[in-house]
Amino acid sequence: MPVMKQSMTDRIIYLDHAATTALDPQVFEAMQPYFTQLPGNPSSIHQAGRAALQALDDARELVATVLGANRKELIFTSGGSEADNLAIKGVALAQQRLGKGNHIITSAIEHHAVLHAVEYLQQFGFEATVLPVSERGLVRPDDLRAALRPNTVLVSMMYANNEIGTIQPVAELGAICREHGVPFHTDAVQAAGSLTLDVNALNVDLLTLTAHKFYGPKGVGMLYARRGIPLSPQLNGGGQERQRRAGTENVPGIVGMAVALNMAEERRTQYAQHCTTLRDRLIDGVLRTIPDTHLNGDREQRLPNNANLSFDGIEGESLLLLLDQKGICASSGSACTSGSLEPSHVLLALGLSHDEALSSVRFSLGKEVTSEDIDRVLAALPRMIEQLRSVAPWYQERVAAMPIA
């Protein structure tokens, strides 16, 4: 990423792939003709329109193949947030109209695109059960079983968590929903490129993806909706996407997403191996060299590219600034609301205290990260942590109170 270059010698170390990834040059190349040479609207009947429609059809077929789905079951959207909103509101409202009920089940660690869509529906008479997770960040299938009611109209549980990387037992959760005849949605945004997206193996009825998390373009995503699942459109207008999502299709974006998804699927094993090796090098290195650090989320049921670590006594935000000065991009789950830091809802759901949650940093790896990059991070971290802890009064007090080993 030359534009972000810090100095002539230091390369940026980008460890925030869970936030977004750089467009793959091959994907960019596949998209380019649809900006300038082939700018048609797929709804137009002339040859420019037909060329665009052909590109759209090809992209749809390619995505359907990766998911083991039928092309008619795909709805292209502006990204993951829109697809999550369409799944939640679209199914809940359609089910309500059919007189099926008004109860939704989700989990405490979902992305805000899911949680806030559910909260929105609660203003309009829907009820929600938000399942807790174990201290390792996993939903217990028995909790889902116990939460299902005769009036449950939708269950939404993410495939892999964006903050702590935990992988949920989606196929098992889906099987429970199917036994009860309840539509099951999964936000698979973080899973793409690392885990299988086969909608039949996963027992899912609805599945969300967004291209910019797997080296595709930003602003384009999709919802898979199994045939026969009631879905009420949330964007009204033209009849695009089989009447389920109005608006002229983002042709270059959709072409890019399809190519990126296909590449991600082809490279999945290799990518997972590459990231797992680096992830473990990072986690083991940090835990070995820096005292009072913890890994958040299950060690095994975990995305290959995720390392979420808590460093006692520090604020994750401060560490991010020090890392950034060294050209290292990472992230924390906390959000700044009205000038004060709000800890991540995901970390709180694991049972972390307010302070522990604020002391966490997420490193999310990707295909271009090297072991030299990880070693640079491992070399830089101990001094940064020491520096931050030296000005953290409670950490100093705790260390002083500790018996000398």
Ligand X SMILES: *Cc1c(COP(=O)(O)O)cnc(C)c1O
* Closest CB to ligand X among residues 210, 310: 210
Q: How many whole angstroms separate alpha carbon 39 and alpha carbon 35? A: 6
* Closest CB to ligand X among residues 158, 350: 158
221 binds ligand X (CB under 6 A): yes
In whole angstroms, how close is the CB of 84 to ligand X at the nearest point?
6
Residue span binding ligand X (CB under 6 A) among the ranges 57-65, 76-84, 247-255, 361-369: 76-84
Residue nearest to ligand X (CB): 80
89 binds ligand X (CB under 6 A): no
* Closest CB to ligand X among residues 307, 381: 307
# chain residues binding ligand X, by CB under 6 A = 14
* Closest CB to ligand X among residues 80, 230: 80
Residue span binding ligand X (CB under 6 A) among the ranges 39-47, 51-59, 73-81, 336-344: 73-81
Residue span binding ligand X (CB under 6 A) among the ranges 80-88, 194-202, 303-311, 321-329: 80-88
189 binds ligand X (CB under 6 A): yes
Residue span binding ligand X (CB under 6 A) among the ranges 93-101, 130-138, 184-192, 280-288: 184-192
Single out the residue of 79, 90, 297, 366 in contact with ligand X (rule: CB under 6 A): 79
113 binds ligand X (CB under 6 A): yes
Q: Going residue by residue from 148 to 167, which x/- string records binding to ligand X, judged by CB under 6 A?
A: ----------x---x-----
333 binds ligand X (CB under 6 A): no
* Closest CB to ligand X among residues 164, 392: 164
**Is 336 one of the annotated active-site residues of the chain?**
yes
Which residue numbers are catalytic? 336
Residues at the interface with ligand X (CB under 6 A): 79-81, 84, 111, 113, 158, 162, 187, 189-190, 210, 213, 221
